[in-house]
Structure 1
Amino acid sequence: MEIKLNSKIILEKEFKKAMKGYSVDQVDQFLDQIMEDYDVFEKVVEELEELRAENRRLKEELENSASRRSQVQPPAGNTNFDILKRLSNLEKHVFGSKLYE
């Protein structure tokens, strides 16, 4: 799927004039509208390509992040035990003997 026209090609297009041809002003006005639409279309295509590239990059980041997380993450049981042990030691330090009264 290749785009064959752009606003420059449309602008520079010459039509032969005939005795019973179209109104030159109407054709020019219509071509102006087409050029504006092509300019918008080209911007949308560029934005779409940027979004596709960003989407690929984000997917790669997500995959890399997930694989790193699975390699680094310790078993949940040990982590919870360590947290509870640290919390208990902190409570003893902060509250001291009042904790057991």
Structure 2
Amino acid sequence: MANITYTPKDILQQEFKTKMRGYDPVEVDEFLDGVIKDYEAYNKEILTLQEENDRLNAKIAQLSKNQATNSRNQSESTSKSQTVTNFDILKRLSNLEKEVFGKKLDQEENEEIRTSQSTDDYSRSNDTRLRDNRTTESRSNTNRSSGDDDLEKTRQF
């Protein structure tokens, strides 16, 4: 605060010498009373503003501390919430795909199962035919070879 030369009390107690042809002392006193009132009002306003300034500076310091703490907590929670958010998004996307494509996929799977079953049935029937043919051929070969052996033996006699 600036250096104050006169306080309201100094102004009130100031006495001036009187001279001939000087200012009217009553007028000077009334004027000085007005100056004192203004001076006191300015002092009150200065004190009020200083208190408000101190209060606001304290609040700024407190908010700065809170902001530093919040920014640390927020950076930690942001990474966690992004992970959760990404997981949630993937889960929702998966559910949507199941809903939209699930019916088509189920139908395709059922068709594939039917196709594979019919293919398996066809393969089994072919395998059975092949086995039957092989069995028949091996029997005939056995019969032929035993018949050929009999002919050989007969010839030797």
Category of TM-score, reference length = shorter chain: 0.7 to 0.9
User: Which structure 1 segments of 5+ residues have no match?
Assistant: 85-101
AA partner of residue 57 (structure 1): A
AA partner of residue 40 (structure 1): A
SS of the residue corresponding to residue 14 of structure 1 reads: coil
Higher relative contact order (CA 8 A, sep 6+): 1
Higher helix share: 2
Relative to the length of structure 1, the TM-score reads 0.73
* Structure 1 pair 79–24 and aligned structure 2 pair: CA distance change class (3 A): farther
The 5 Å alignment of 1:85-96 reads none
The 5 Å alignment of 1:1-101 reads 1-73=2-74, 74-75=77-78, 76-78=81-83, 80=85
**C-alpha separation in 2, matches of 1:80 and 1:8:** 70
**C-alpha separation in 1, matches of 2:22 and 2:55:** 50
Shift of 1:79: 5.7
**C-alpha separation in 2, matches of 1:78 and 1:12:** 76
Moved over 3 A (4+): 78-82
* Structure 1 pair 81–27 and aligned structure 2 pair: CA distance change class (3 A): same
**C-alpha separation in 1, matches of 2:22 and 2:13:** 19
Say which one has the larger Rg. 2
**C-alpha separation in 2, matches of 1:38 and 1:70:** 47
AA partner of residue 3 (structure 2): E
Shift of 1:5: 1.5
AA partner of residue 35 (structure 1): I
SS of the residue corresponding to residue 33 of structure 2 reads: helix
AA partner of residue 82 (structure 2): G
| Root mean square deviation of aligned Cα | 1.8
